[in-house]
Amino acid sequence: MNAWLPLLVLFSSLLPGLIIFFLKEEQSRIRIVLNMAGALIKLILVGSMVWGVYHGQSYEARLPLLPGLELALEADALALLFIVLSSLLWLVTTVYAIGYLEDSPNRSRFFGFFSLCVTATVGVALSDNLITFLLFYELLTLSTYPLIVHRGTEVARKAARLYLVYTLVGGALLLLATVWLYTLAGTLSFTPQGFLSSLDEQHYGALTIVFVLLIIGFGVKAAIAPLHGWLPKAMVAPAPVSALLHAVAVVKAGAFGIVRVVHDVFGVTFASSLGLLTPLAVVASVTILYGSVRALYQDDLKRRLAYSTVSQVSYIILGTTIVGPIAAIGGIVHLVHQGLMKITLFFCAGNLAETLGIHKISEMDGVGRRMPWTMAAFTLGAFGMIGVPPLAGFISKWYLGIGALEVGQGWVIGVLIGSSLLNAAYFLPILHAAWFKAPPSSWPQERSFGRKETAWALLLPPVITALLVLAAGLLANATFSPLQWATFIISLEFSP
Amino acid sequence: MSLSMLYALAGVGLFVLGLHGLIVQTHLLRKILALNIMGSGVFMLMVALARRAPENPDPVPHAMVITGIVVAVSATALALALILRLQAMTGRAELPEQQTRP
Amino acid sequence: MSSGLNTIAWIVWIILIPLIGAMLCFMWPRRGNLLGMISAIATVVVVVALYLQLLDQGVIRYAVGGWRAPLGIDLYADGLSVLMLLMSALVGLGVSFYARDYFKQDDENPAGFWPLWLLMWTGLNALFLAADIFNLYVTLELLGLSAVALIALAGSKDALAGAMRYLLVSLLGSLCYLLGVALLYHAHGTVDIQLLGSVVTVHPVSYAALGLMIAAMVLKSALFPLHFWLPLAHASAPTPVSALLSAVVVKASFYLLLRLWFDVFPAVTLGLGLLFGVLGAAAILWGSVQALRQTRLKLLVAYSTVAQLGYLFIPFALLSPIAWQGGVYFMLSHALAKAAMFMAAGNILKFGGHDRIADLDRVAQRLPITMTAFCLAGVSLMGLPPSGGFIAKWLLLEAALTFEQWLWAAVIIVGGLLAAGYVFKVVGYAFTQADHSHDARPVALTMEWAALGLAVGAITLGLIAPYPMALLAIGDPLAIREVSP
């Protein structure tokens, strides 16, 4: 069972995906059943994996690729964090996507690639060495491309092409770095506290270049400035895709990669001794501020959220660069928190677009009266982003700040405060307009749902994730909260 | 210089002449002729080098030459068939990019 | 069971079966499809039998008719030969399935295809098993002539011109090669490859022969800048023929080059390795750029072949022996992937009546199996995981980086990105709506599945690498054991 469970988790989304490709458009019932079944099964399997690991079991699966090189999946603590997040959010997004894409063309193709995308994300989470990570990372690129180009317009084709240029170049740099690292170190297995500290000093120059290449490669997906250019353009994709990309799959995979590199390839202390972490911290901070500033100037709602993502994901990276456990916890837990908050926001944006035809913030006056539940969820998400206690976002920022102070990097607090202020500056006006301004006489393109605010499938997911944002913050001290988990993960990294 | 060496050099000379013709001539029939001359050059070289006076010559290169001639005949036949087809289709017996007149 | 297997001279049947099949198909053209398929399947079975025999016995050497060299013809099978045989067999099987329906649907002449294709297969198999350089000449000619005739089957002006040019190039190459053979025989008194390897020394005659023979193989393998004949020949041929040419036939001359390099001339190679590497790099860059510029799909795929063949020459310039494993693996994956890609392109051509890339018009939705085949083949060509192409790329990169040959590593990486450029150019258009739609003509399912099968094969190669590697080691054809500690 121990080798099968990781594989089963992968197949729980791969098989439904492959089957869905062959379904005709009209067979929506079977498609929905397959999607939901896959998502639920995955969640159950992941749950049992968590339970098993909690009781001391280990789950790993290996396949030899070449002499000395193998594909390896293993469920360690960090992997589980990411995979629980992915599975949970996949379930919610599946419900949302079913509602959103009702009567759209090419749904079989969409859900097929959607499932492949999740498979790739789960693979990224479970990877136990750099080459497996690379494999699933590239698979992620390949499976998200059709989702961006889905609508088949010229705009979509160009946005997808831009996405490819960025991600494939990043992938090429990753490959180069990985092979190089392999020739230097002879292994690529993720090891807590890294496996490079035993190398000769003469290689330090090469290791620095490898680090830079790896960060660039992962940074493209993680949307670090100046590699973030593809993200706002990719908003042309349907809302469930934006939700998935920004909360779970692509962006998080990039950030996750950076966490793995710093913690399990180089090791935080070794990386810091090579002088690699401070420049990364600076880049992350610049991205945090830059993303927020750009967000201020966007009128298109999804674009503003896109830039907000650019900014927020760099919190995770910032957390990893600070050589102290508390800040590291803050970074890793933000992986979960940002996912929950951002997906809520994107779901709401999708609702506004689908139900009322609203795409711009200037069209959002008074929409709180018309769609109270959606806007309530949005409000929770927005407050979380700003860092209002007791929501999830506050927890992450608090840990980051305290952790930075603890190791004497007080300037980080300045970045945190600055970005929180900017967050407030671009979220509060939206909330104000939505709740307190008078609605226009008619919405751009209204669809009626009877007495309901909008379809159930569109309404439930954001409400659920918003409540989770609240819970993750309020219940942060409970045993299974993301915070406690992150604490556990970091304890492995910093133990002697 | 011995007789066989003279023939061998002549063979090489034929090869080079044929090569020149192959590259320079535009009419396909001439190109095929040039290839045949190249072939003949190689065969002559092989036969010349097979001489082991005063013993009997080495039969192995002779066998090779015979095989080579068979191959050359088949190749020439195919080439001629192609030229005819090309001529029928385009009215010219030249490769398209080498045609000087429209 | 294995002892029973070992008593049969599979090595001879590999050559005989397609030959007999060719003659049968020639005599009964109406039964062409049936007889052709039977021969194809029989050939594959025999190749697998030889593979098993090789695993059991190790290297096999067989004297045809009981007469040994130098008067008799020896057949020799080691890991590399069997690998090439398996490669041609797999591609050949896929193409045979494809061709059954390809020629049925059109009015194109099926009567010519099967005999010619089986003759070509005979030539290929004989080439991979030949143990002396003269026999190689004969098989090369058989291969070349049947390939030319197959191209001309398409009947169009482009096809005829392409066939003619290919014929001229092929004959030129063969004659140069034959001249080299003559010189070598005169200098050393033998044409056997193994024997030559031990006696060839630094000597003007050896250099002359080396130059001639290698030049001939480079011409036939379409290494830049001698690649000019390839794009039109491969693109204007009937699709199954294009697949065979790009996937297998160009690899045959490369295989010959490898044999010459490792077995006949190991003492004499000078700085040629670096030259090959440079030309290979030029091929990768130039071919990829040309592919990007194409407006028609089959031409794009043909230029992609020019580019990918460049990768095969990079190992000559690398110092690590792993590079050769990478090169051979590249050959294997490219064969499967390129055949699949040509078949997919052929399907698209049949479907819409044209292969203009900008007008692909949602082919992704209307020919999903074909597009999947194209994309999977593209994944291998780009060297993305998991695929055979990725394994090959990894090995090449590892070889380059172990000895800090940065420039070659950069070329390999850039080549992969350029390949992504032209593959995704097609894919992007396949997803989008064109300005004007065309009526669609149906494409037989077998044709689509044949393409997909080979493409999946290319991907699977990425996951089963230990097996081909183990096979390659039998007989140590690439002198890896000698070099590595």
Is C46 a member of any domain?
Answer: no
How many Å lie between the alpha carbon of B101 and the closest alpha carbon of chain C?
17
Cβ contacts of C141 on chain B, cutoff 8 Å: 71, 74-75
Q: Do C175 and B28 touch (CB under 8 A)?
A: no
How many Å lie between the alpha carbon of C186 and the closest alpha carbon of chain B?
7
Q: Is C3 helix (H, G, I), strand (E, B) or coil?
A: helix
What pLDDT is recorded for position C330? 93
Residue A360 gets which letter from DSSP? B
Give the DSSP per-residue string, A94-152.
Answer: HHHHHHHTTT-TTHHHHHHHHHHHHHHHHHHHHB-BHHHHHHHHHHHHHHHHHHHSTT-
Is C443 a member of any domain?
Answer: yes
How many Å lie between the alpha carbon of C433 and the closest alpha carbon of chain A?
6
Confirm or reject contact between C366 and chain A (CB < 8 A): no
Is A232 a member of any domain?
Answer: no
A347 contacts: CB under 8 Å, gap ≥ 6:
A96, A239, A243, A377, A458, A461, A462, A465
pLDDT at C484 over 70: no
Which domain covers residue A471, as residue numbers?
Answer: 276-496
Cβ contacts of C401 on chain A, cutoff 8 Å: 179-180, 183
**Region of poorest pLDDT, from A368-377, B38-47, C331-340, C348-357:** C348-357
Structure token digits, residue A66: 């070449």
* CA nearest neighbour of A137 among A19, A38, A238, A255: A255
Confirm or reject contact between B83 and chain C (CB < 8 A): yes
What pLDDT is recorded for position C485? 38
Residue C434 gets which letter from DSSP? P
Question: What are C297-316's pLDDT values in tens digits?
Answer: 889 999 999 999 999 999 88
Please tell me the total count of domains within chain C: 1
* CA nearest neighbour of A31 among A46, A21, A41, A42: A21
* CA nearest neighbour of C206 among C195, C196, C218: C196
Residue showing tokens 């709180």: A368
What pTM, to 2 d.p., does this model score?
A: 0.89
Interface test with chain C among A175, A182, A202, A207, by most C beta carbons within 10 Å: A175
Confirm or reject contact between A161 and chain C (CB < 8 A): yes
Is C287 a member of any domain?
Answer: yes
Cβ contacts of A145 on chain C, cutoff 8 Å: 424, 427
Task: Give dist(CA C163, CA C147) in Å, integer.
Answer: 8
pLDDT at B52 over 80: no
Q: Do C70 and B49 touch (CB under 8 A)?
A: no
Confirm or reject contact between C479 and chain B (CB < 8 A): no
pLDDT at B10 over 90: yes
What pLDDT is recorded for position C89? 94
Is A449 a member of any domain?
Answer: yes
Which domain covers residue C279, as residue numbers?
Answer: 271-485
What pLDDT is recorded for position C394? 92
List, in sequence order, the alpha helices (H) in A356-455: 367-370, 372-386, 392-406, 411-436
What is the rounded end-to-end Cα distance, in angstroms, of chain C?
Answer: 37
How many Å lie between the alpha carbon of C367 and the closest alpha carbon of chain B?
34
Q: Do C401 and A153 touch (CB under 8 A)?
A: no
Residues C472-485 have a mean pLDDT of 63
What pLDDT is recorded for position B100? 53
Q: Do B82 and C70 touch (CB under 8 A)?
A: no
For residues C12 and C66, is the Cβ–Cβ distance under 8 A? no
Task: Give dist(CA C98, CA A251) in Å, integer.
Answer: 42
Locate the chain C residue with the closest alpha carbon to A154: C432
List, in sequence order, the alpha helices (H) in C58-199: 79-105, 110-129, 133-152, 157-188, 193-199
Please tell me the total count of domains within chain B: 1
Any chains having at least 3 CB pairs less than 8 A from chain B are C
Confirm or reject contact between C464 and chain A (CB < 8 A): no
What pLDDT is recorded for position C483? 44
C225 cis-preceded (ω within 30 degrees of 0): yes
The one-letter amino acid at B25: Q
Q: What angle do CA C124, C126, C128 make, to 5 degrees?
A: 70
How many Å lie between the alpha carbon of C425 and the closest alpha carbon of chain A?
8
Is C68 a member of any domain?
Answer: no
For residues A398 and A333, is the Cβ–Cβ distance under 8 A? no
How many Å lie between the alpha carbon of C368 and the closest alpha carbon of chain A?
9
Locate the chain A residue with the closest alpha carbon to C424: A161
What pLDDT is recorded for position C110? 61
What pLDDT is recorded for position C1? 45
What pLDDT is recorded for position C332? 92
Q: B48 or A53: which carries more pLDDT confidence?
A: B48
Question: What are A359-380's pLDDT values in tens digits?
Answer: 888 888 888 888 888 888 888 8
Going by pLDDT thresholds of 50, 70 and 90, the confidence category of residue C85 is very high
pLDDT at C52 over 70: yes
For residues C466 and A66, is the Cβ–Cβ distance under 8 A? yes
For residues C50 and C77, is the Cβ–Cβ distance under 8 A? yes
Q: Do A139 and C424 touch (CB under 8 A)?
A: no
Going by pLDDT thresholds of 50, 70 and 90, the confidence category of residue B102 is very low
Positions in chain A whose pLDDT score sits under 70: 1, 246-247, 449-451, 479-480, 493-496
How many Å lie between the alpha carbon of C146 and the closest alpha carbon of chain B?
10
Locate the chain B residue with the closest alpha carbon to C180: B42
Locate the chain C residue with the closest alpha carbon to A167: C417
What pLDDT is recorded for position B99? 62
Any chains having at least 3 CB pairs less than 8 A from chain C are A, B
pLDDT at C108 over 60: no
Cβ contacts of B45 on chain C, cutoff 8 Å: 179, 182
Cβ contacts of A138 on chain C, cutoff 8 Å: 384-385
Q: B65 or C262: which carries more pLDDT confidence?
A: B65
What pLDDT is recorded for position C244? 92
Is A296 a member of any domain?
Answer: yes
Is C132 a member of any domain?
Answer: no
Cβ contacts of A71 on chain C, cutoff 8 Å: 386, 463
Structure token digits, residue C481: 């054991």
Q: Do A66 and C463 touch (CB under 8 A)?
A: no
Is A336 a member of any domain?
Answer: yes
Task: Give dist(CA C351, CA C434) in Å, integer.
Answer: 15
Is A265 a member of any domain?
Answer: no
What pLDDT is recorded for position B101? 47
Q: Do A160 and C465 touch (CB under 8 A)?
A: no
**Region of poorest pLDDT, from B86-100, C11-25, C239-253:** B86-100
B54 cis-preceded (ω within 30 degrees of 0): yes
What pLDDT is recorded for position B90? 83
Is A356 a member of any domain?
Answer: yes
Q: Do A149 and C416 touch (CB under 8 A)?
A: no
Residue A74 gets which letter from DSSP? E
Cβ contacts of C211 on chain B, cutoff 8 Å: none
Confirm or reject contact between C68 and chain B (CB < 8 A): no
Interface test with chain B among C167, C190, C228, by most B beta carbons within 10 Å: C167
Residues C197-223 have a mean pLDDT of 83
List C residues 138-177 in contact with A (Cβ-Cβ < 8 A): none
Confirm or reject contact between C168 and chain B (CB < 8 A): yes
Confirm or reject contact between B89 and chain C (CB < 8 A): yes
Q: Is C383 helix (H, G, I), strand (E, B) or coil?
A: coil
Cβ contacts of C433 on chain A, cutoff 8 Å: 152-153
What pLDDT is recorded for position A235? 80
Residue A202 gets which letter from DSSP? G
Across chain C, what does the average pLDDT equal? 85
Q: Do C175 and B42 touch (CB under 8 A)?
A: yes
Please tell me the total count of domains within chain A: 1
Distance (Å) of CA C128 to CA C36, C139, C330, C476 = 21, 9, 18, 15
How many Å lie between the alpha carbon of B55 and the closest alpha carbon of chain C?
16
**Region of poorest pLDDT, from C43-52, C135-144, C422-431:** C422-431
Question: What are C266-291's pLDDT values in tens digits?
Answer: 766 667 888 888 999 999 999 999 99
How many Å lie between the alpha carbon of C485 and the closest alpha carbon of chain A?
15
What pLDDT is recorded for position C267? 63
Q: Which of C365, C428, C463 sits opposite A157 (nearest CB)?
A: C428
Task: Give dist(CA A38, CA A307) in Å, integer.
Answer: 32
C5 contacts: CB under 8 Å, gap ≥ 6:
C49, C52, C53, C56
pLDDT at C97 over 50: yes
Which domain covers residue B65, as residue numbers?
Answer: 3-98
Task: Give dist(CA C481, CA C479) in Å, integer.
Answer: 6
Cβ contacts of A179 on chain C, cutoff 8 Å: 394, 397-398, 401, 409
